[in-house]
Every structure is written in C-alpha cells, then in structure tokens.
Homo-oligomer: A and B are copies of this chain.
Amino acid sequence: MRTIEWHDNAIHMIDQRLLPQKYRVLVCRDHHELAQAIRDMAVRGAPAIGAAAAFGIALCAVRSQARDSEQLLAELDDAAREIAATRPTAVNLFWALDRMRKRAEALRGQPVAAIAQALVAEAQAIADEDVETNRRMGRFGAELLRDGDSVLTHCNAGRLATVDYGTALGVVRAAVEQGKRIHVYADETRPRSQGARLTAWELMQDGIPVTLIADNAAGYFLRTGKIQAVLVGADRIAANGDVVNKVGTYKIAVVAKENGVPFYAVAPTSTIDMSVPDGDAVPIEERCATEVTHVEGVCIAPEGVAVANPAFDVTPHRYVTAIITERGIVWPPFREGLRRIMGMEANDETPGA
C-alpha cells in the first residue's frame, strides 16, 4: 500500500512509529485522529503530511452534519486550524490546507455533499500528484548520479516520507531503474532514528544496497572519499534557497562542501516557501525530551537531565549544490532560479501557478 490512502471514508496509513519491527496500518476515522497521527509522527515526512492534511480536511467534510456550505466551510476552517497546529516546520502541511481551502471556497453555495465529494477528489489528486511529482524529481535527479556511486542520505526522504516513491530516495530509485548501481549510506538520524528504522527498511525491501551508520560516522565516510553525493529531502525551502530539514542536515552539508561532495536537496515545489526570505525565518519545532532520553521506552540518560531537542536545522544555501524539483533542477543563484521555477515575475512578491 501507499504510505497514506483513502478507503471507505477513512484515512489509512502505515504506522511509522512501529517500523521496522511491526508493520501495522493505522486508520483515522475523523480529523481529530488524523491531527493526532501527525503530531505523534505515525505519519511524517513533509510531502506525506501534506497529503495527510488534505485527507483530514476531506474527512471532516465527509463526516460533516452541516446544513449548508457556509456552515461546512466554517467547520473546515476549524479543522484546518487544528491540523495546522500539529507541526510548525514543514510547509507542505500549510500548502495542502491552503489548496483544500481554496477548493472549498470555490464551491461555496453548492450542496454540502457535493463539496465533500469534491474535497475527497482534491485530496486524492494531491496524493496522486505527489507520486507523479516524486517520479519526475527522480528522473531529473538520477542524471546527477553515476553508475557505482555511493550516496549519503539523512532521515527518511523515501516512500514513507511521501505518498509513494520518495524524494531523495526517489532519485536513488530512478537511478537504479536506469540500471545504475547505487549504494546508500543511511545515517541513523537520532533522536527518532528514521534512517535506521525507515530508510534502511524501505531500501532493503527494494533490494537497494544500504549500509547503516551512526550519525557521527557520516563525516568519516565523507572525508575518506566513500560518498559521491548527499541526497536529502526538505521540510521547507526559503526564497533564498536555504534548506530547512531534519536536524543534522546542516552538519552534513558543511562537511560535504568541505570535501567537494555535492549536496542535493530533493523536494517538490510544494516545499518551497517564497514567503520566507531565508531559513532563519522558519519556525523550528522543539520536540519532547524523551525522544532523546528514551529508546523504545528504555531510559538511556541520567534521570532528570536537561535536554534540548530541536527537530530541524537550517542549511544556508551556500552549502547547497542544487535543488531538485519536479519542474527541473535549480542551480545557484537560487533566489532567481526559485522565482523562475515558481512562475514568479522578477518583481513579483507572490508565487504564481
């Protein structure tokens, strides 16, 4: 199944908190459950939570008892606020909610059931487009990899972070489909270990060679020439090309540059936020201390220790070799390249298309 699917007026998702030990499907039957699933990271990854948010709005519409479109739209606004409050950093969440809101607004005055049906179709379109988008990015990005390359990736930017296929790992999959032999170094990605739990698992499922390393070992392999490219996803890309992604990305990017290894961010245009001038304008989510102090419920740190747990960091654009999107590869200077790919005129302050 896809990472997230709509069946029988419910949202079905692979529960990513349990992988790789358990494969279980979580079913959300109202948008409150969906919001909780995003908050708890049963579903995670910027594109996947975008699709999840869209399905959440569709679910709210389908279950609504509203007597007219005005009332429905008010309910949808409440649902969007609840879903928007789950996680602050990945912009795809807000992008998807905005797209769903526009679709609903356009149908103001229509029967409630018709609006609900249209919103289910819109969410399904977002999900389907995500898969197509990933395949496009994969084809663009695969051109940057050579047969025999080893790639370092961080966190999980694979099919589990998207509806299917993946962003960074989509590029790997596309290269492999082209017949290239690609080996992946997956770093563990503490504190939630998405690299160990999800990236290693999904690559092994696909038979793509993967070596798991501690986050600390990435520098060792970059410096000793074992890695030919770094491929990561993104949670938000600012107008100047700064990449906000899973904490730890920044250190990798700096060390990659220091060693002449290209660093590519792979992200759909829905991850690009032209309204933020740079990465430092993006809110960085701080998550709970137990992510750091506990593993599988076991405490691995002293009782009562103070913890800081930022979930993301900012990689300034000067460390980014290129940004791979479904509309093509953006090279520096990023400000101009991103405006072009987002369909903005030279002096236009708002994104087009």
Contacts and interface: CB of A to CB of B under 8 A. Distances in A.
Given A292-B213, A295-B295, A300-B193, A250 B201 contact: no
Interface in A282-297: 284, 292-293, 295-296
A238 interface: no
Interface residues of A, number: 56
B309 A250 contact: no
Interface in A103-128: none
B308 A221 contact: yes
Q: Indicate how many identical chains form the complex.
A: 2
A76 to B, nearest CB: 36
Interface string A252-287: 101100100000000000000000000000001000
A20 B292 contact: no
Contacts of A298: 295-296, 298
Contacts of A351: none
Most B C-beta atoms less than 10 A away, residue of A20, A188, A216, A309? A216
Contacts of A292: 188, 196, 212-214
Nearest to A312: B220
Contact of A219 (B204, B209, B223, B250): B250
A212 B296 contact: no
A135 interface: no
B314 A212 contact: no
Given A20-B301, A255-B255, A301-B200, A223 B250 contact: yes
A217 B218 CA distance: 14
Interface in A196-251: 196-197, 200-201, 204, 209-221, 223, 246-248, 250-251
Given A211-B307, A220-B313, 13 more contacts: A190-B215, A191-B214, A193-B301, A196-B293, A200-B301, A212-B305, A215-B215, A216-B313, A217-B248, A220-B310, A251-B254, A254-B255, A295-B298
A210 B254 CA distance: 26
A21 interface: yes
Given A210-B306, A251-B255, A300 B197 contact: yes
Most B C-beta atoms less than 10 A away, residue of A20, A204, A295, A306? A306
Contact of A190 (B214, B252, B304, B306): B214
A307 B200 CA distance: 10
Contacts of A212: 292-293, 301, 305-308
Contacts of A250: 219-220, 223, 255
B219 A251 contact: yes
A185 B258 CA distance: 25
B295 A216 contact: no
A179 interface: no
A216 to B, nearest CB: 3
Contacts of A144: none
